[in-house]
Amino acid sequence: MSEQALLRVDDIRKRFGGLTALDGVSMQVEAGRVFGLIGPNGSGKTTLFNVITGFARPDHGQVVFDGERIDGLSPDKVARKGLCRTFQASLNPQRMTVMENMLLAPQNQVGETILNTILRIGRIREQEAEHLERAWEIMKLVKLDHQADTPAGSLSGGQKKLLMLGQALMLRPKLVLLDEPVAGVNPRLIDDIVEVIRKLQGQGQNFLIIEHNMQVVRQLCDTIHVLDAGKVLASGPTAETLQREEVLNAYLARQAREDA
């Protein structure tokens, strides 16, 4: 290992009853590149995300993030280590406004402790002002700055994805895991989302992205890991890996089965 991996997954196995969702997955995500995680439906991508972020406990194997083992930690602890995820479906509190959602995200908010709201009110005001400023910046970036007071439930599907991305950024995470950032989003907004992610990438933000839209994968990802039936089928530079025969077969075979 020449360079220290930001995220390393070692021989992860996860079963749900009789179904083996992950069957010994090992992969690495290094800093400074955008990684893609692709694979046919049911290949275990989201389960792997769940295992990495503490939403599911692996039966076997380990997850090392930034030099520290994080498997078995609760999701909130994983997030506090600087590893933030989004969800495939928007789960954001619908009755909270866009800005409330954004301000929810930052870590170490002094005002989340009851006693501090009296004892350290000055610090809370300072923090709120800082977070507000940062939230406006990020909202401008993800094109939600005109929707600050809109309830999250009233946003379009694509805007909800942008909100999740924006929230994740509020955390200043070392790595963001995006679960299908453009699925179900209208084409114009897809371009916006791609542009936002590329801009962030340029600023040094690390990403690991699950995506089915191959055009977006080609545009965004430097390196991809291909998952099939709970195993890593192939890894490598995006364009090259997508051409590999076993990858084509995995997709085509699945396609053929679905078509039949």
Positions touching other proteins (CB under 8 A) are 53-55, 74-77, 79-80, 84-87, 91-97, 99-100, 103-105, 107, 109-114, 117, 124, 127-128, 132-133, 136, 145, 148-149, 151, 167, 171
Least distance (Å) between residue 39 CB and other proteins: 22
Least distance (Å) between residue 119 CB and other proteins: 12
Q: d(Cα 104, Cα 117) in Å, to the nearest integer? A: 16
Of 107 and 235, which has the nearer Cβ to other proteins?
Answer: 107
Least distance (Å) between residue 160 CB and other proteins: 11
The H-assigned helical ranges of 55-186 are: 75-80, 98-104, 116-119, 121-141, 157-170
Of 66 and 222, which has the nearer Cβ to other proteins?
Answer: 66
Of 136 and 251, which has the nearer Cβ to other proteins?
Answer: 136
Least distance (Å) between residue 28 CB and other proteins: 23
Tell me the residue ranges of DSSP E strands in 17-65: 19-29, 34-38, 60-65
Of 1 and 115, which has the nearer Cβ to other proteins?
Answer: 115
Of 22 and 98, which has the nearer Cβ to other proteins?
Answer: 98
Partners of 206 in the β-ladder: 175
* Contact status, residue 31 vs residue 65, Cβ threshold 8 Å: no
* Distance from chain centroid for Cα 144: 19
Of 210 and 234, which has the nearer Cβ to other proteins?
Answer: 210
Q: Which helix (H) or strand (E) holds 13?
A: strand 7-16
Least distance (Å) between residue 109 CB and other proteins: 4
Q: d(Cα 55, Cα 59) in Å, to the nearest integer? A: 13
Least distance (Å) between residue 210 CB and other proteins: 15
Q: 154 vs 145, 180, 187, CA distance in Å?
A: 15, 20, 20
**DSSP reduced 3-state for 26:** strand
